[in-house]
Structure 1
Amino acid sequence: MMKQEDRNDGISRRGFLKRAGLLGAALCVNPVLEKATAAERVLTGQGQVVRDIPAGMAAVRELRTLGNGTAAFRVSAMGFGCMGLNHHRSSSPDEAACIRLVREAIERGVTLFDTAESYGYHKNEILTGKALKGYTDRVFVSSKFGHKFVNGVQVKTEEDSTPANIRRVCENSLRNLGVETLGIFYQHRSDPNTPIEVVAETCAELMKEGKILHWGMCEVNTDTIRRAHRVCPVKAIQSEYHFMHRTVEENGVLAACEELGIGFVPYSPLNRGFLTGAINEYTRFDTTNDNRQTLPRFQPEAIRANTRIVEVLNAFGRTRGITAAQVALAWLMNKRAFIVPIPGTTKLSHLEENLRACDIRFTAEEMTEIENAVAAIPVVGSRYDALQESKIQK
């Protein structure tokens, strides 16, 4: 394995935030910008806002590109998923501790933070906004629209990507997060009643108005990606992707992203914590704030069977001085240069562990070895229940 080298290239963005619509957004193409972005200067050592990252510190020292051409979007090679700070992950630290952790991630080079309207219905966005206050010139924060809510309660059998709802969610997200512009605005789940072309057109308008820099979609198929991309270039696709769920390799989504120059952002890259080895059949999840207790794959019998996969990761990592979590994250980052995983955590030690995966390089032989070893073990249990699975495009 080889350690990665720091990169000194940079592309700009900050100054564009209010001018997005005035500089060609009608074509959904951002202009080539002249100065290094504040977010990128943190990594490249340019500009006055730089925070030197000590050589031995766990940090992100590489930029990756989502999209291509003049619309290229440069972000840290690993992002941070904010959902678990206070939503769906059992007990959470107090607000002050969450804020400290997010800011520590920023100091360690993370420039992409991910949240959504539906994570506690504004709750996670508001917390993320508090954590990013004073740092928004150095980072990008992304959110999501598309779930249907009535009086703050999600209607789980329906989705809503009508233009009116997209705009409503956008305004709420901007207010909750305390930013002028969202980095990426994702459609959380497809809406069968709203053509994706209409969704793309609405996002193009929001780009023109300077309210979003880029847009993306979650858990969609290749046909939807191509239709949307023809209307307004898609910056990133966000789908579940890890050793225990590799569907995007089989259904053509990953290949389509590579062909079209679209970034790929895997959510739950550690399978909701399972691939860290910290969960076993005796683990009990908070019934009031943890969706894992409802998922087939997190039932005791499934956990018991799937632990064999974690054992394989541990065995592979042990001879290389890395943990199971680092094997899982490094494998993703070695798959494609346009993949930017967004693991989340509430602990500084886990943040450090995750970030060190950015320095790991596997040879082609090592990639084949670990993939074959994991593939030999059947995964037990579905990742979602029937209703949630029905919302995933096949």
Structure 2
Amino acid sequence: MKRINLGSQGLEVPVEGLGCMGMTTIAGGDIYGKANEEESIATIHRALELGINFLDTADLYGPLLNERLIAKAIKGDREKYTIATKFGFKIDDNEQLTWGFNGKPGYVKKSIDRSLKNLGTDYVDLYYLHRLDPATPIEETVGAMSDLVTSGKVRYIGLSEVSGETIRKAHQVHPISAVQTEYSLFEREPETNGILDVLKELGIGFVAYSPLGRGFITGELKSPDDFAEDDFRRQIPRYQGENFYKNLDLLKQIQAMAENKGITPSQLALAWVISNGVVAIPGTKRIKYIEENAAAADIVLTSEEKAKLESIIPVGVTAGTRYDAQQMQSVNV
């Protein structure tokens, strides 16, 4: 597995990581269908064999259950993994998710201690602010995160779903190693909102979550009814009603291109993301798919193939937003 530098502070990761969110529920609801702990742990172990040792989790997932699952998977082999986790969604002392945001310095310190305990480790490689707390200046939050680096609890810090302006303010307080946001053939806003330009200017790495359009690009979904009743994708406008079928028409063209190249649509989409110098963290809880995804890192796309893909789905052509109206208010801020 090829590796890449994330940021300019020394963090090195494979070009493909493993998103672990779907391995547990969130607030009692399944994310991408039912998960099996034994199978999920086996997938993490297989990922390591394939050179994918960059695991992405968050205290939100579960809440807290995802970090505890990862603790089981990495026990005895902590040094072989690069662990990224996130904080910022407020979780109360009863381990209940409030869905509010908290970036206050005191909560930063409380969150890292809780995550370290749940992960069964004494340090986190990459610690992200999951969402900006509108009630707390980013400088205060990042200042507290910087203290975690000084204390040795965190090696590098990152941000998730923030604007270029917020990135600049944060980077002045402490070097940011990575910014994470949704990015795929179906979600190319980072190319137009200035984030990629800011990251390049400041020497910050970019981590793309949902590089397979939350599983849509796999081609396994034929209608909105294919989602389980508690699958959170039912809440996403992009995958509802007429939007679903408009996007499916675009996907069929990608499927045809992948078939001609002798690869899967997922592999084609991942190869495109990685070709842009981005670290992709596709999520899966099954060995079959981690093996398929890992193979995508070796696929080389010609400039003509990239241009064709980008002409099939030009920036802005995707139907529907990637979150509902309320959640869209907390991204790119």
Q: What TM-score, normalized by structure 2, do the two folds share?
A: 0.94
Secondary structure in structure 1 of the residue aligned to 2:91: strand
Gaps of 5+ in 1: 1-60
1:215 is aligned to 157
Distance 2:36 2:269 in 1: 29
Q: Deviations over 1:356-388 (max 9, x none)?
A: 110011122221111012229932222111111
Q: What is the number of residues matched between the two proteins?
A: 328
1:347 is aligned to 286
Identity %: 37
2:273 is aligned to 332
Secondary structure in structure 2 of the residue aligned to 1:120: coil
Distance 2:329 2:103 in 1: 17
Alpha carbons 1:276, 1:310 under 8 Å: kept: no
1:40 is aligned to none
Amino acid at match of 1:85: M
1:292 is aligned to 233
Residues 299, 166 of structure 1: CA spacing in aligned structure 2 closer, same or farther, 3 A cutoff? Answer: same
Residues 284, 370 of structure 1: CA spacing in aligned structure 2 closer, same or farther, 3 A cutoff? Answer: closer
Alpha carbons 2:254, 2:265 under 8 Å: kept: yes
1:86 is aligned to 24
Amino acid at match of 1:198: E
Alpha carbons 2:64, 2:95 under 8 Å: kept: no
Distance 2:32 2:296 in 1: 25
Alpha carbons 2:224, 2:239 under 8 Å: kept: no
2:12 is aligned to 74
Deviation, structure 1 residue 149? 2.6
Alpha carbons 2:22, 2:35 under 8 Å: kept: no
Deviation, structure 1 residue 282? 5.0
Alpha carbons 2:59, 2:86 under 8 Å: kept: yes
Alpha carbons 1:308, 1:377 under 8 Å: kept: no
Amino acid at match of 2:17: G
1:190-205 matches, within 5 Å, as 190-205=132-147
Gaps of 5+ in 2: none
Amino acid at match of 2:324: D
Distance 2:306 2:321 in 1: 25
Secondary structure in structure 1 of the residue aligned to 2:280: coil
Secondary structure in structure 2 of the residue aligned to 1:319: helix
Deviation, structure 1 residue 147? 0.8
Distance 2:224 2:110 in 1: 42
1:149-228 matches, within 5 Å, as 149-150=91-92, 151-156=94-99, 158-228=100-170
Deviation, structure 1 residue 96? 1.5
Deviation, structure 1 residue 349? 1.5
1:264 is aligned to 206
Amino acid at match of 1:328: A
2:5 is aligned to 65
Residues 368, 90 of structure 1: CA spacing in aligned structure 2 closer, same or farther, 3 A cutoff? Answer: closer
2:295 is aligned to 356
Once the two structures are overlaid, the 10-residue window that deviates more, 98-107 or 277-286, is 277-286
Alpha carbons 1:80, 1:110 under 8 Å: kept: yes
Amino acid at match of 2:2: E
Once the two structures are overlaid, the 10-residue window that deviates more, 356-365 or 231-240, is 356-365
Distance 1:239 1:218 in 2: 6
Distance 2:210 2:123 in 1: 25
Amino acid at match of 2:226: R
Alpha carbons 1:317, 1:323 under 8 Å: kept: yes
Distance 1:287 1:371 in 2: 33
Q: Deviations over 1:126-149 (max 9, x none)?
A: 111111112211111111111123
Deviation, structure 1 residue 172? 0.9
2:261 is aligned to 320
Distance 1:234 1:176 in 2: 24
Q: Does 1:281 align with 2:220?
A: no
Amino acid at match of 1:297: R
Distance 1:308 1:191 in 2: 38
1:114-125 matches, within 5 Å, as 114-125=56-67
Q: Which of 322, 325, 333 is the aligned partner of 1:386?
A: 325
